[in-house]
């Protein structure tokens, strides 16, 4: 259970970092496209790309806490 708890904690941190990179890149790309290419969508559309990452991050954090809780329950003999 300790390995699973640690694995999901690390995965949550990685997902957060990837989310920041992807959203930041696409935001900049849309801003550049509005200035140079004539895109009509607002740059805030790039923020919609964070939704799958946020959902995945929430799932990873919940699973990390569940596995940590089970680890403490097992160590107490319950």
41-75 pLDDT per residue, tens: 888 888 898 999 999 999 999 999 998 887 666 66
The domain spans of the chain are 2-76
Q: What is the largest CA-CA distance in the chain?
A: 64
Burial class of 50 by CB neighbour count within 10 A (0 to 12, 13 to 18, 19+): middle
Residue 76's pLDDT is 62
Is-above-0.75 flag for pTM? Answer: yes
Other C-beta atoms lying within 10 Å of the C-beta of residue 66 = 14
Digit-coded pLDDT (tens) for 19-33: 999 999 999 999 999
């Amino acid at each position: 259970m300790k390995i699973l708890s640690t694995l999901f904690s690390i995965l949550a941190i990685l997902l957060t970092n990837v989310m920041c990179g992807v959203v930041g890149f696409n935001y900049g790309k849309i801003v550049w496209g509005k200035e140079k290419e004539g895109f009509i969508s607002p740059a805030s559309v790039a923020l919609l790309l964070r939704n799958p990452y946020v959902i995945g991050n929430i799932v990873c954090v919940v699973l990390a806490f569940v596995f940590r809780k089970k680890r403490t329950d097992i160590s107490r003999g319950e």
